[in-house]
Amino acid sequence: MRVALFITCVNDALYPRTGRAVVALLERLGVRVEFPMDQSCCGQPQYNTGYRHETEPLVRRFARAFAGYDHVVTPSGSCAAMVRDNYPRIGARAAAEGRGGGLAGAVAAVAPRTLELTEFLVDVLGVTDVGASYPHTVTYHPTCHGLRALGLGDRPRRLLRAVRGLELVDLPGAEECCGFGGTFAVKNAAVSAAMGADKARHIIGTGAAAVCTVDNSCQTHIGGTLSRLGSTVRPVHLAEILASTEKEPW
Amino acid sequence: MPAFPVAAAEAVGDARLRGNLRHATHTIRDKRARAVAELPDWPELRAAGAAVKDRTLRHLDHYLERLERAVTAAGGHVHWAADAAEANRIVTALVLATGEREVVKVKSMVTQEIGLNAALAEAGIRADETDLAELIVQLGDDLPSHILVPAIHRNRGEIRDIFRDRMADRGRPAPEGLTDDPADLAEAARLHLRRKFLDAKVGVSGANFMVAETGTMVVVESEGNGRMCLTLPETLISVVGIEKVVPTWRDLEIFLQLLPRSSTAERMNPYTSMWTGTTDEDGPRAFHLVLLDNGRSDALADTVGRQALRCIRCSACLNVCPVYERAGGHAYGSAYPGPIGAILTPQLRGVTSELDASLPYASSLCGACYEVCPVAIDIPEVLVHLRERVVRGGEVTVRGTRTVIRPAGGHAAERAAMRAARWVFDHPGVLRAGQRLAARTRRLAPRRRLPGPGRAWTDTRDLPPVPAEPFRDWWRRSRGEGSGR
Ligand code: SF4
């Protein structure tokens, strides 16, 4: 089984810890991961803001960089959803507009194999107990794309429940968007901030020490809001919790 | 109207409005979820509803002609209106021809869309809204802010004040000592409206559906006021968007299940009125159907955007939308607020105004609207599609003619930034150099104040610290250059 790691632009630049956690976790589970150096941003910021044409070269790059792998694993629900939901659309539109160049075919080969980390763990490796230890109270925020576009369901919670020492507490209004939405956070700053503030209030109200997500981008928004409110609740990516063990706390 | 972000920012600051909206939308969304969960075949119903609508839209000309024949055969008159102005002219002329100067109205989105009440007022005709929430909006010189509950932004106390201060201007005044008890408020409205129903000679309505095979108009409602307006007047004038047609009664059955559960969380709506042409000695003696285009066939020409025409105006998407909940309905600047408004309005009106160009961005793309939509409109997909139209322009249909439109103004800097970002992402060497530089100068990076457009972020949110080493560099350092590809 050849497994490639897709580290998103946000992971790479702002949260390399998350990427390193994925590597540590997968290697502990006996998976040898490769990191194709040709990879880059999935193009979601451009695409979601209306710049489909600017996205196309990045889609081509992705399809090229990850061709031939059995699975492409990424610690980002929204980037996995971008590849699975939107790449086929972009391929089809490119073909319809006469810029095919085999893009649709290349995308069809790679998109269905691109998995968010918890899908890979639960569906491909068939594990929910990854031998992790994280002795803290944690609340889980299911990010929108993980929840609705990918349909991760209870996979992340099942993984969390199997972590030694971890106490999982419910988050009220968990399924509501945190208000990030990429450029939405800047274009509609007032509404985005109001959504973030409500989310932060709910998180603080749980009394948890950490709030866990499967997306560093939402984490940036939630963490930035919590920090501005002076809260000590720590935003943490699920991969970092799962990478943590008794011997080596992450 | 200001662009969406400006109007929304103002609404966000209004604590009472936010409280009213939050309470109302959360109550109804929870009830809806329970009502939908009762039906084991909801996903199949939803798919069937979408499929019927799509098929009808693909052959819309055929079904509309069939509808026209059926309505005419049943004794009604069909009028075609290309746009709002034409529809208003037709309705005004029809009312004037009866010699009347007053009409009673059934709650209808489409007459809001075309601004019918104002057009009638200009011709000296008074139109009285009879739906309770529409009445509140009308008496308060206000605009509707929700598809189903137009006065959702008002609480009981505000409604009592509006009734007490304004009812007398439009007929019977509110009773002395009116309280904000719901039963009291409903009774005040009942007394106020009763006289109007009994006196009215002309009724104006929209329709939820038009059945092509028999020419039957279908109006569903909760209060019964609509039925009074449909049956008591001598003349009934119905303005209906062309997308409201369904081919047969069997098709209708699907929507009569989807609509009430999605909108009011009821298994069946309390009043379903069906009206076919005219009948001797029962109901209106004259029935006029005004079929309205007003941008709909242009939307139909767009293969991605046309799914918005499936909408059955249930308002479920509004009730789950976190943006609508904070921004309120007025910020959307049209009869159609919330997620459906954000994709329908820019298709019906185009994206030339600042407001209309801002609507496709009035969403965080969280997908909650798509999840609840009973006819499975992929609202996020259409939003992104329309964003492309805003920033790039391109081929669209305007009043039936293929036209190339220019990008909306004000996006030049963003376009340059997007292109630059894409170029960097497509040149990993450059990207790496940039990341290294950021890592090396990370202690200089601000966490609390960014310049330019970034300020909108740092006004309320801190930035994460820049890490010492990007992931790529760590990988290369610990695994060596050749361990990837
Ligand atoms: S878009 Fe869907 S959910 Fe929204 S009002 Fe229309 S039918 Fe209802």
Strand order in the sheet with A33-34: A33-34, A3-5, A71-74, A114-116
How far away is chain B from the Cα of A194, in angstroms, using its nearest Cα?
7
How high is the mean pLDDT of chain A?
A: 95
**Which pLDDT score is estimated for A75?**
97
> Which residues fall within 8 angstroms of residue B385, CB to CB, at 6 or more apart?
B304, B305
**Phi (first) and psi of residue B126, to 5 degrees:** -95, 130
Of A23, A175, A186, the CB nearest to B456: A186
Over residues B281-339, the pLDDT tens digits come to 889 999 999 999 999 999 999 999 999 999 999 999 999 999 999 999 999 999 999 99
> Which residues fall within 8 angstroms of residue B58, CB to CB, at 6 or more apart?
none
Beta bridge partners of B209: B218
Task: Quickly state the pLDDT bin for B409 (edges 50, 70, 90).
Answer: confident
**For chain A, what is the HEC assignment?**
CCEEECCCHHHHHHCHHHHHHHHHHHHHCCCCEECCCCCCCCCHHHHHHCCHHHHHHHHHHHHHHCCCCCEEEECCHHHHHHHHHHHHHHHHHHHHCCCCCCHHHHHHHHHHHEEEHHHHHHHHHCCCCCCCECCCEEEECCCHHHHHHCCCCCHHHHHHHCCECCEEECCCCCCCCCCCCCCHHHHCHHHHHHHHHHHHHHHHHHCCCEEEECCHHHHHHHHHHHHHCCCCCEEEEHHHHHHCCCCCCC
Of B322, B363, B470, the CB nearest to A12: B470
Over residues B1-37, the pLDDT tens digits come to 899 999 999 999 998 889 989 999 999 999 999 999 9
Does the ipTM exceed 0.90? yes
Over residues B117-172, the pLDDT tens digits come to 999 999 999 999 999 999 999 999 999 999 988 888 888 999 999 999 999 999 99
What is the mean predicted confidence (pLDDT) over B346-358?
96
By percentage, how much of chain B surpasses pLDDT 70? Answer: 97
Over residues A53-80, the pLDDT tens digits come to 999 999 999 999 999 999 999 999 999 9
Which atom of ligand 1 is least distant from the CA of B318?
4
How far away is chain A from the Cα of B12, in angstroms, using its nearest Cα?
7
**Which pLDDT score is estimated for B484?**
53
A15 touches chain B (CB under 8 A): yes
Cβ of B361 and A14 within 8 Å?
no
What is the mean predicted confidence (pLDDT) over A162-181?
97
What is the mean predicted confidence (pLDDT) over B49-63?
98
Cβ of A37 and B484 within 8 Å?
yes
**Which pLDDT score is estimated for A240?**
97
Q: Given a cut of 60, is residue B97 above it in pLDDT?
A: yes
**Which pLDDT score is estimated for A190?**
96
A167 touches chain B (CB under 8 A): no
- A197 neighbourhood in chain B, CB within 8 Å: 460
CA distances to A14, B1, B381 from B363, rounded to whole Å, are 25, 19, 12
In whole angstroms, what is the distance from residue B281 CA to residue B284 CA?
A: 8
Q: Given a cut of 60, is residue B482 above it in pLDDT?
A: no
Q: In this predicted structure, which of A45-49, B196-200, B206-210, B449-453 has the lowest mean pLDDT?
A: B449-453
**Which pLDDT score is estimated for B12?**
94
Q: Given a cut of 60, is residue B483 above it in pLDDT?
A: no
In whole angstroms, what is the distance from residue B223 CA to residue B383 CA?
A: 34
Residue with token string 């609340």: A139
Q: Whose C-alpha lies nearest to ligand 1, atom 6?
A: B311
Which atom of ligand 1 is least distant from the CA of B343?
1
How high is the mean pLDDT of chain B?
A: 92
Over residues B420-452, the pLDDT tens digits come to 778 778 887 777 777 777 777 776 676 677 777
**Which pLDDT score is estimated for B436?**
74
Task: Quickly state the pLDDT bin for A44 (edges 50, 70, 90).
Answer: very high
Pocket test for ligand 1, best of B25, B36, B148, B375 (most atoms within 8 A of CB): B375
Pocket test for ligand 1, best of B42, B54, B312 (most atoms within 8 A of CB): B312
In whole angstroms, what is the distance from residue B103 CA to residue B200 CA?
A: 6
Q: Given a cut of 70, is residue B481 above it in pLDDT?
A: no
**Which pLDDT score is estimated for B181?**
94
| pTM beyond 0.90, yes or no | yes
**Which pLDDT score is estimated for B1?**
83
Task: Quickly state the pLDDT bin for A243 (edges 50, 70, 90).
Answer: very high
By percentage, how much of chain B surpasses pLDDT 90? Answer: 78
What is the mean predicted confidence (pLDDT) over B180-200?
92
> Which residues fall within 8 angstroms of residue A127, CB to CB, at 6 or more apart?
A29, A121
What is the mean predicted confidence (pLDDT) over A131-146?
97
Any idea how long chain A is? 250
Q: In this predicted structure, which of A144-153, B248-257, B410-419 has the lowest mean pLDDT?
A: B410-419
What is the mean predicted confidence (pLDDT) over A153-180?
97
